[in-house]
């Protein structure tokens, strides 16, 4: 009866071991089209979610925000242009696979470059590799070059991103 009532009211149970967290970047987040060298740098990013309970459980990322993002060193015409990034298909889960090493799954980012009318969808078909070290501080480090530009709108031209090109992601967060 209690479970049925919770379902009707739309309540979600959160395991007692889950602890809310925030993650603040400790270095710039970098996205790069590995083939073309297009680089997007974000100086301010953050994560919000639930911290892991027992070993092997996941960081559940329920919100990711990206600000102060620009195109850097790509081309004199586009260098310094603002880039807006939206996290899609949240929550993302970082699951510990072995020791400190794990994988962030369900990642999709939408990049929007207003000055060009350019949109790029970037996803991680096999997840984003990384490490999670608990201690003082707790640190989530992401480093993968297996993301891909899955949809590049024609307004982007062919010099920034191209469909199915590999994309690298580098980021580090202090989790508290």
**63 close to 24: Cβ distance less than 8 angstroms:** no
In this prediction, residue 19 carries a pLDDT of 84
pTM, 2 dp: 0.83
Positions of E strands within the chain: 19-25, 29-33, 39-51, 58-72, 84-88, 92-98, 101-105, 108-113, 118-123, 128-133, 138-152, 166-175
**What confidence tens digit (pLDDT) does each residue in 50-105 have?**
876 655 567 899 999 999 999 986 677 788 899 999 999 999 999 888 878 999 99
* pLDDT at position 110 over 90: yes
Cα dihedral sign, 23-29-35-36: positive
């Amino acid at each position: 009866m209690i479970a049925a009532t919770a379902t009707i009211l739309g309540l979600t149970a959160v395991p007692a071991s889950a602890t809310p967290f925030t993650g603040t970047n400790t270095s710039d987040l970098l996205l790069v089209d590995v083939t073309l060298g297009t680089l997007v740098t974000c100086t301010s990013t953050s994560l919000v979610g639930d911290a892991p309970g027992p070993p092997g459980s996941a960081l559940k990322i329920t919100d990711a925000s990206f600000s102060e993002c620009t195109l850097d060193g790509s081309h004199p015409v586009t260098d310094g242009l603002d880039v807006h990034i939206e996290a899609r298909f949240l929550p993302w889960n970082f699951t510990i696979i072995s020791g400190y090493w794990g994988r962030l799954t369900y990642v999709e980012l939408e990049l929007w470059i207003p000055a060009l009318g350019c949109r790029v969808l970037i996803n991680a078909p096999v997840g984003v590799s990384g490490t999670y070290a608990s201690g003082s501080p707790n640190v989530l480090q992401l480093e993968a070059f297996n993301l891909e530009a899955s949809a590049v709108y024609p307004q982007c031209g062919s010099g920034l991103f191209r469909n199915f090109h590999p994309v690298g992601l580098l980021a580090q967060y202090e989790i508290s």
